[in-house]
Amino acid sequence: MPNFTFNENNRVELPTKHHGVVSLSKTKWEEICQQPERFYYQDNAEKISTALVNPDYVRHSHNYNDQIVYYKKFDTFQLGNKTMNSFVKYWAVIIDCKTKRICTVYPTPKPKAGKEYKAEVKDGK
């Protein structure tokens, strides 16, 4: 069953396409997964990593200035040892740019409204 391997500080560090490395605490992951309707999240933990490094969309949160949402489309999801057609198409991963932490994750039928994130160009590159 895919899931995260947390380090000795009970954190997992994940690279992102635009925001360096972000972290997810074991406590936050357990909080996210504790709701009964989210029983399949742990089986699909790798979707979070994939969304962060290879997103289809990256948008500013329309609710919080310091938060960015990474979206990635997936056609299937894992349910135990079965691969199922996805009833939702995108996984969203919200990160806080100031703290470099994952705030939450959730599946969604489509990306939410929000201004497209544009990576800063440094040194003329």
Residue-wise pLDDT tens digits, 62-114: 889 999 999 999 998 888 888 888 777 899 999 999 999 999 999 999 998 88
Q: Is residue 1 part of a domain?
A: no
Q: Count Cβ atoms within 10 A of the Cβ of residue 51 and give its class: 0-12 exposed, 13-18 middle, 19 or more buried.
A: buried
The answer to whether residues 90 and 72 touch, using CB atoms and an 8 Å cutoff, is yes
Evaluate if residue 16 carries a pLDDT over 60.
yes
pTM for the full predicted model: 0.90
pLDDT per residue as tens digits for the range 28-67: 999 999 998 888 899 899 999 999 999 999 999 988 999 9
- Residue-level pLDDT at 2: 57
CA angle 61/50/84 to nearest 5° reads 105
- Edge-to-edge strand ranges of the sheet holding 57-60: 11-15, 21-25, 101-108, 90-96, 67-73, 57-60
Q: Is residue 65 part of a domain?
A: yes
Q: Is residue 96 part of a domain?
A: yes
Q: Is residue 73 part of a domain?
A: yes
> Domain total for the chain?
1
State the residue range of the domain holding 79. Answer: 11-108
Q: Is residue 58 part of a domain?
A: yes
Q: Is residue 36 part of a domain?
A: yes
